[in-house]
Amino acid sequence: MPVNGVTARGEQQAVIARVVHAHQTDEELGAYLQTLMAEFEKLRELGFSQLEIASVREAARDYNRTRKKPVELAARAAKLEATGVNTWQKARKENDFSLFAPVLQEWIDIVKQEAAAVEPTSDVYDFCLDKFERGASTKRLDPFFASIKTPLISLVRQIRKTRQGPNRQFLQSKDLFSGTFSLETQKRLARRFSEELGFEFNSGRFDESVHPMTINIMSPSDVRITSRFSETELSSGILATLHETGHGLYEQGRNAQACKEGLPVSRPPGMGMHESQSLLWEKQVGMSAEYWEHYWPIILRSFSSLPYSEFTEFHKVINEIKPSFIRVSADEVSYPLHILLRYEIEKGLLHGSLQVADVPAVWNQKMEEYLGIVPQNDAEGCLQDIHWGIGLFGYFPTYTLGAVYAAMLFQAAEKEIPELRKCIKEGKFKPLREWLREKIHTVGSLYETADELVEKVTGSKLDASCFLNYLSNKYGALYNLSSAEVDAVTIRS
Amino acid sequence: MPVNGVTARGEQQAVIARVVHAHQTDEELGAYLQTLMAEFEKLRELGFSQLEIASVREAARDYNRTRKKPVELAARAAKLEATGVNTWQKARKENDFSLFAPVLQEWIDIVKQEAAAVEPTSDVYDFCLDKFERGASTKRLDPFFASIKTPLISLVRQIRKTRQGPNRQFLQSKDLFSGTFSLETQKRLARRFSEELGFEFNSGRFDESVHPMTINIMSPSDVRITSRFSETELSSGILATLHETGHGLYEQGRNAQACKEGLPVSRPPGMGMHESQSLLWEKQVGMSAEYWEHYWPIILRSFSSLPYSEFTEFHKVINEIKPSFIRVSADEVSYPLHILLRYEIEKGLLHGSLQVADVPAVWNQKMEEYLGIVPQNDAEGCLQDIHWGIGLFGYFPTYTLGAVYAAMLFQAAEKEIPELRKCIKEGKFKPLREWLREKIHTVGSLYETADELVEKVTGSKLDASCFLNYLSNKYGALYNLSSAEVDAVTIRS
């Protein structure tokens, strides 16, 4: 968008928000929903399907929450969303948090007013968390984050220590992979990788953008994913592609009939479950040794500048653990600590125990404590993410919930799919994809929370131990940690 | 859009059309408009500005017409628009008119029903013409097209004859300009050309697309133009850029306050006036010798493969007259004959004197008669344009009206702006741009028809003679036609 377009865009978004709001709060719709909810317990014997019953539950919830949300607040939020992004970009570019502070403060005010109007009995941050992850609350997430905090800080530290050790310098091999990699070849390969995981190009597009993303044009038959590529670094484009393909597979796998009928049951039970699908394909599959055993020869054939080497080298490089200031380029061990930091700051801001002006200092102090590094400036620190510029509070935790669900789901899949790792080694992804389609994608929000769905599929509720075991086993082996070092991280469940 | 997305897209467009329709026909709006229209003659003395009065007139017309248009017809049209494009693309690809015929027939039915509902006393094709060019009708356009038909057929024939002549082979110089032209350099130059005409990049974007186009994101501060470039041919990308820049300048020059307030007076009085702005910059300016006297040295510096030559050579090449099957690549002498052909076919289809199945044969017979060439297949013939696939009947004539307005406006500008041609020769476009902004862009539809506006600015109503004089003078000189040959084409007004 050209810079002068921002005002008009804000006004347009406000108009659209008002039109959508009017439809979402239509009284005729409300009357139907009221009738259905009055008979909710009897719907099954009245012949409603489970998908329909879940849709009534979701639609009634949406309706009631939207009715309670003041329309002027929605319009104000829509307008701030447009101008907020611009201000955030400017503040980041000029590395000046004070430019962004008023936007952040206005979002906090809007979110508080919204929470007070919609769920007056709920805690304001619980209201935010529940918006993106049904059933999430600080009561539920405080102990969850507490259970991963110490083990992950400890694992990051141990791995950083090993880099001093003489025989653990495998990361020098990264030099093998620096060079110039044709963007055209990378794009062609990325398309192939995506297609081989099962992304359906007749029902989707694959393009480039500055920020990789997935959108669904209101139909599982029109799903758009994007990736980005670097001419000098090979792995980031591949991993971003696998990540977005995971989101894309969820979208293409949604219940087609329910989507066509606009039934809310077709949507995921939370953003964590959606993220679990991108992370499952990117991390559990795409960063496994088996995956690279299959694809490394293909990569070698495509880039003649690459020296011949074992797939294990590339596998080690993409699994490098190296604390970074930037969340989106963080490795999978430090990533949850980036999230924890944001979770604590958001909670503080919304509970009033932290003031906007203090965010930069608190950010840097937590970075030091969790990851042992301090950003040089706010552009690399508290201004790095777009989320607070567009009013997304309570969203960040879904990234880590997604990582944990992914580990749990992959473990369950390994138990149920014969020779799953062998399939991956042979580039056969259909068994896993179909399993996820049946267990996750088509199920949508049949169950009210992701927790319930995960329990149905894996037999247990949200549980960090599976994730921690996965990390300590994988990185213990890659970094030759002693079993004592590994044990210090692992929670035996 | 992926192929499987088409059904969902059609449904979405139908939904949006219904929502928009509900707002456009809102009874409260209608009551306000009725009150205003009852006092229309007194609005001026009641303190309304001329812009406001024109807005009332336009809004009331829109409202009444939309109220009369059955909502189910609008939804049906929106749906057919999505599927129609796809069918047209398929028919063109497979060169099979019979695939497209049912879509064309359904559009004719829809248009007839719409005309009968909205303007029952109007002729159906007049209804179509008036939709895109207020006040246009066959009564007005039949004599207009009659006045250009014979002169243009004759001019095309005379020019084709000269190509046999020994000293008139300048087009061989085209070989000078074949080669490989870096797309990046072309894009950089195109951006510069656009900027130097006055396109404001803080209020617009310039991108690439398969079909060059201009859109306005509901604000003169967010105008998007696109162009396309060929690695082996230099002029098409430049001319497409100048064309779209002309549209873009109109959009950026619209009355900002009226746009902000959503007043319909900010829009052009018809598509012909919009097209006049693209054609004025592309043809009158961008295909003039003066323009290339300035820009040819810049082109030479940018492409080292080009041999040094006079700007006059390039000027001749881009002004080559060579009948083509394809309207969008037609030269400016044969272009109006492509339009005449479509005008006659549309009129026949809507008046019932021509059946859908007969379109291909009639098309080819008219191509032979007007341009002396017959397309080998329907893909290059009656299936070449998207317009009938999306229900645009009555639109084509605005291209030629635009060309005529452009010639009239440029002639008037030459009289009013001191040394206009000298300015162009020096790459100074501000005087012309500001003149157009004042006389055309900001005026919008203050006057009800483009005819009225043109008369205010130039002193005369739509008149083909100015256009014919321009063509015969320019091409007479370029092709060394004798004055007897030129006289045969010229209408002295």
Which domain covers residue A344, as residue numbers?
A: 124-493
Contacts of A418 (CB under 8 A, 6+ apart): none
User: Do A109 and A154 fall within a single domain?
Assistant: no
Catalytic residue (choose from A244, A290, A293, A346): A244
Hunting for tokens 């567009």 — which residue is that?
Answer: A390
pLDDT in tens, chain A (493 residues): 898 998 888 888 878 888 888 889 999 999 999 999 999 999 999 999 999 999 999 999 999 999 998 878 988 998 898 789 999 999 999 999 999 999 999 999 999 999 999 999 999 999 999 999 999 999 999 999 999 999 999 999 998 888 644 333 443 445 555 678 899 999 999 999 999 999 999 999 999 998 899 999 889 999 999 999 998 888 889 999 999 999 999 999 999 999 988 899 999 999 999 999 999 999 999 999 999 999 999 998 998 777 777 788 888 888 988 889 999 989 999 999 999 999 999 999 999 999 999 999 999 999 999 999 999 999 999 999 999 999 999 999 999 999 999 999 999 999 999 999 999 999 999 999 999 999 999 999 999 999 999 999 999 999 999 999 999 999 999 888 887 777 766 654 3
Q: Looking at CA atoms only, how far is residue A1 from chain B in angstroms?
A: 7
Q: Looking at CA atoms only, how far is residue A32 from chain B in angstroms?
A: 21
pLDDT of residue B92: 96
Answer whether B366's CB lies under 8 Å from B327's CB. Answer: no
- Alpha-carbon torsion (A391, A396, A397, A399), positive or negative: positive
Rg of chain B on CA atoms, in Å? 23
pLDDT of residue B178: 63
Residue type at position A240: A
Give dist(CA A124, CA A108) in Å, integer.
Answer: 10
User: Do A187 and A299 fall within a single domain?
Assistant: yes
Give the nearest partner residue to B218 out of A1, A8, A222, using CB atoms. A8
Hunting for tokens 């041999």 — which residue is that?
Answer: B307
User: Do B97 and B144 fall within a single domain?
Assistant: no
**A window 15-34, beta carbon within 8 A of B:** 19, 23
- CATH number for A306: 1.10.1370.30
User: Do A38 and A86 fall within a single domain?
Assistant: yes
Helix (H) or strand (E) holding B204: strand B204-208
User: Do B318 and B362 fall within a single domain?
Assistant: yes
Domain boundary among B95, B121, B147: B121
Contact B222 A5 (CB under 8 A): yes
User: Do B131 and B117 fall within a single domain?
Assistant: no
User: Do A379 and A293 fall within a single domain?
Assistant: yes
Q: Which site among A1, A201, A222 would you substitute to test the B interface, given the most B Cβ atoms closer than 10 Å to its Cβ?
A: A222
Contact A7 B203 (CB under 8 A): no
Domain boundary among B83, B104, B121: B121
Residue type at position A314: F
In DSSP terms, B225 is beta-bridged to B206, B214
Give the nearest partner residue to B219 out of A5, A23, A201, using CB atoms. A5
* Total of domains in chain B: 2
User: Do B193 and B55 fall within a single domain?
Assistant: no
**Whole-prediction pTM value?**
0.80
B3 in contact with A at a CB cutoff of 8 Å?
yes
pLDDT of residue A357: 98
pLDDT band, residue B413 (cuts 50/70/90): very high
User: Do A201 and A89 fall within a single domain?
Assistant: no
Question: Does pLDDT of B268 surpass 50?
Answer: yes
User: Do A314 and A418 fall within a single domain?
Assistant: yes
- Assess whether B244 carries a catalytic annotation: yes
**B window 188-227, beta carbon within 8 A of A:** 200-205, 217-219, 221-223
Q: Looking at CA atoms only, how far is residue B131 from chain A in angstroms?
A: 26
Give dist(CA B478, CA B318) in Å, integer.
Answer: 11
Give the nearest partner residue to B222 out of A1, A19, A23, using CB atoms. A1
User: Do B342 and B320 fall within a single domain?
Assistant: yes
- Mean pLDDT of chain B, nearest integer: 92
**Helix, strand or coil for residue B351?**
helix
pLDDT of residue B82: 79
A2 in contact with B at a CB cutoff of 8 Å?
yes
Q: Which site among B1, B3, B4, B16 would you substitute to test the A interface, given the most A Cβ atoms closer than 10 Å to its Cβ?
A: B4
When pLDDT is averaged across residues B315-342 and rounded to a whole number, the result is 93
Query: CA distances (Å), B64 to each of A10, B19, B253, in order?
Result: 30, 17, 29
Give the nearest partner residue to A8 out of B1, B200, B219, using CB atoms. B219
Q: Which site among B208, B221, B257, B259 would you substitute to test the A interface, given the most A Cβ atoms closer than 10 Å to its Cβ?
A: B221
**B window 258-317, beta carbon within 8 A of A:** 260
Check residues B20 and A250 and name the one with the higher pLDDT. Answer: A250
Contact B1 A222 (CB under 8 A): yes
pLDDT of residue B492: 45
In DSSP terms, A214 is beta-bridged to A225
In DSSP terms, A226 is beta-bridged to A207
Chains A, B: CB contacts under 8 A, how many?
71
Domain boundary among A121, A137, A168: A121
Side by side, the strands of the sheet bearing A214-216 are A204-208, A223-227, A214-216
Contact A2 B203 (CB under 8 A): yes
User: Do B342 and B384 fall within a single domain?
Assistant: yes
Residues of B in contact with A4 (CB under 8 A): 200, 202-203, 221-222
pLDDT of residue A164: 47
Residues of A in contact with B12 (CB under 8 A): 217-218
**Helix, strand or coil for residue B224?**
strand
pLDDT of residue B466: 95
